[in-house]
Amino acid sequence: MSKLRVGILGGTGMVGQRFVSLLENHPWFEVAVIAASPRSAGKTYEEAVGSRWKMSTPMPEAVKHIIVKDVNQVDEISSQVDFVFSAVDMTKEEIKAIEEAYAKTETPVVSNNSAHRWTPDVPMVVPELNPEHLELIPFQRERLGTKRGFIVVKPNCSIQSYTPALYALKEYGPKLVVATTYQAISGAGKNFDEWPEMIDNVIPYIGGEEEKSEQEPLKIFGKVVEGKLEKAKGPLITTQCIRVPVSDGHTAAIFVNFEKKPSKEEILKAWKEFKGLPQELELPMAPKQFIQYLEEDNRPQTKLDRDYEGGMGVSIGRLREDSVFDYKFVGLSHNTLRGAAGGAVLIAELLAAKEYITAK
């Protein structure tokens, strides 16, 4: 099949750069348009990014000479693409408005931003966990007055280090979760050169992160009711989110109580056997083994394990019974791959496989 034409909104930032890297040689998608702020518009992508290229691999040759467009040129950009990825750096209200504007031009939007995560008819999807939430799209199209356009969002990067592990155990009824996340500096769109204050330092606060970490899993655990997403009533989750001096990879220390306490063997079996629609459909970005369990006491480690399954898998370790809770364990996921651009590309692959995204 011919490749779908992709636009990247906010293509010069760290997540935008990750989209550019991931889409190099993608079997289904090709980058047709890169858009950014007015100050970058009119420059080649190479000129607009300049010395700020943050990926470990070189900038793909195919995008270096693309002329960056002003992200506000909605009609012009929409006419040249089949769908867009959104990673724009704007206020929440501006993001909401511009993503809806693209959707209303009949251009599907797969967003890395948080602005629409609580819009009732916008699916927030981890493709292995809640693909059925895509059933909201027809209701959203009705509200927007579109036949083809819609918005789908990806959840917060840090919850992906533990929500899949809890979801795989939902038959046992997780009811109370305490989560402390240790989050890489790339989650703030920075590296150590730009943020020297983070070297040899820990900051025990990340604005807005704890609220997202406590509430977003409940939307993923929720269900579609009469065209709106009804979030789950549990588990009750309380979190602390800490910035640590790590380049990539978000770690979580989890304590959990269950309605029906499983054995350790049952937990390990559930994690090992867990798979979702992306694995069944063999989507290009899908990890073959979504959740891996590491037996060593000192794993998972960010340096050793964040790139598991191309950064798209989740690594779990240190599962043991606790003196206060039923169990405790440690989770790890790559925050800019599974947690950001990679997760959004996987969503787009699922949307294309289910024919929500097609060539214009």
Q: List active site positions.
A: 157, 250
DSSP 17-46: HHHHHHHTT-SSEEEEEEEE-TTTTTSBHH
Nearest residue to 130 (alpha-carbon basis) of 81, 166, 99: 166
Query: Rounded to whole angstroms, how far apart are CA atoms 12 and 9?
Result: 9
Query: Rounded to whole angstroms, how far apart are CA atoms 285 and 85?
Result: 15
Query: Rounded to whole angstroms, how far apart are CA atoms 326 and 261?
Result: 7
- Alpha-carbon distances, residue 116 vs 188, 222, 236, 301, 336 (angstroms): 19, 16, 23, 32, 19
User: Taken in order 124, 248, 292, 24, is the CA torsion positive or negative?
Assistant: positive
List, in sequence order, every residue forming a beta bridge with 80; answer none if it has no partner: none
Which residues are within 8 A (CB) of 11 and not within 5 positions of it... i.e. 6 or more apart? 17, 19, 20, 34, 35, 36, 45, 68, 87
AA identity, residue 326: D
Cβ atoms 177, 235 nearer than 8 A: yes
Nearest residue to 35 (alpha-carbon basis) of 64, 4, 73, 1: 73
Nearest residue to 138 (alpha-carbon basis) of 125, 124, 150, 154: 150
Terminal CA-CA length for the chain:
14
CA angle 168, 162, 207 (to 5 degrees): 145
